[in-house]
Amino acid sequence: MIREVTPSEATQVFDLMGKVYASHSFLAQGLEAYIGQLEAGRYVSLGKFDGKDLQAHAGFRVARDFALINALVVDPGTRGSGLGRAIFDTRMNYIKSNHSFDFVVGYSMMQHLRSQSLYAEGFKPIGLDIGYPDIYHQSDSEYNRGMASNAELVLCQRLSDRKYPVELSVASRSQKLAGRILETMGVDYQFTNRGAEPSDSEIFLGFHPDTERGLFTPAYLEETATVDFAPLLASNQERQNFVDVIKGQI
């Protein structure tokens, strides 16, 4: 059965994550911090249990108006069984029925179309995260591609029809793309000069959600950065077009 994970079962989640991932931001926070978030209601973990044994996990961070989904993992011995899809869908239904979020957002690795395909067509690209080591163990040849840097699409789905006004500072040359993203998500936006003006020498990557600063937090890459787009795959044309726009700035 799939149910909420209790703080007393947190060690099982960390053990399963460590079994699959060589490094992951979820693991980097530490077990004690994870338990604290569960107890405070700032994080929700769902687990698929076979008796007392955890077979799969999917969680989400709780922000004021959005859910940031992450840490989907299945035991390698159950790959291909549909368990990943089942717990992804259960998490989505939980978010929609148990919380009053305006959006749900997540990061999907572009090296793995199987993972990206879990995000239905309703998930729209709002950002791109570039340049971090492969998170899978090197011995996992099915998933670890042995590349020095990887990329993730930031995919977002609107859950409510409430008005959602946004005021933000974006570099002048990036405002067209920023506006297009916000319009796609049905957001009323206004650009402002408040705060430090982002440098026009940086490449706008769209938005990276931040539980403190907000869902639509602008993200940039140094213009001198070198990015290999060859291994980056998109599961539909809309997502590919988004990556092409980012690529066109570099």
Residues 173-200 as b/e (b if ≥16 CB within 10 A, e otherwise) read: ebeebbeebbeebebebebeeeeeebee
Assess whether pLDDT exceeds 90 at residue 209.
yes
For 222, phi then psi, to 5°, come to -60, 135
pLDDT range class, residue 141, cuts 50, 70, 90: very low
Assess whether pLDDT exceeds 50 at residue 144.
no
Report the SS3 class of residue 248.
Answer: helix
Helices 10-20 and 31-40: crossing angle in degrees, nearest 10, is: 130
- Identify the H or E element spanning 192: none
Residues in the chain: 250
Q: How many Å from the N-terminal Cα to the C-terminal Cα in the chain?
A: 47
Return d(Cα 229, Cα 247) in angstroms, integer: 8
Return d(Cα 177, Cα 209) in angstroms, integer: 17
Break the chain down into helix, strand, coil percent, rounded to 5.
30, 30, 40
Angular region, 82: left φ>0, alpha ψ -120 to 50, beta rest: left
Please write the tens of the pLDDT for every residue from 182-207. 999 999 999 987 655 556 668 899 99
Of 3.90.550.10, 3.40.50.1220, 3.40.640.10, 3.40.630.30, which CATH number belongs to 1-101? 3.40.630.30
Question: Residue 7 CA to chain centroid, in angstroms?
Answer: 23
For the question of whether the overall pTM of this predicted structure is more than 0.75, the answer is: yes
Q: What local confidence, expressed as pLDDT, does residue 231 receive?
A: 74
Please write the tens of the pLDDT for every residue from 11-23. 999 999 988 877 7
Which token pair is 229? 């787009």
Q: Sign of the C-alpha dihedral, residues 211, 124, 126, 164?
A: negative
CATH 3.40.630.30: which residues of the chain?
Answer: 1-101
Assess whether pLDDT exceeds 80 at residue 4.
yes
Residue carrying the six token digits 């539980």: 211
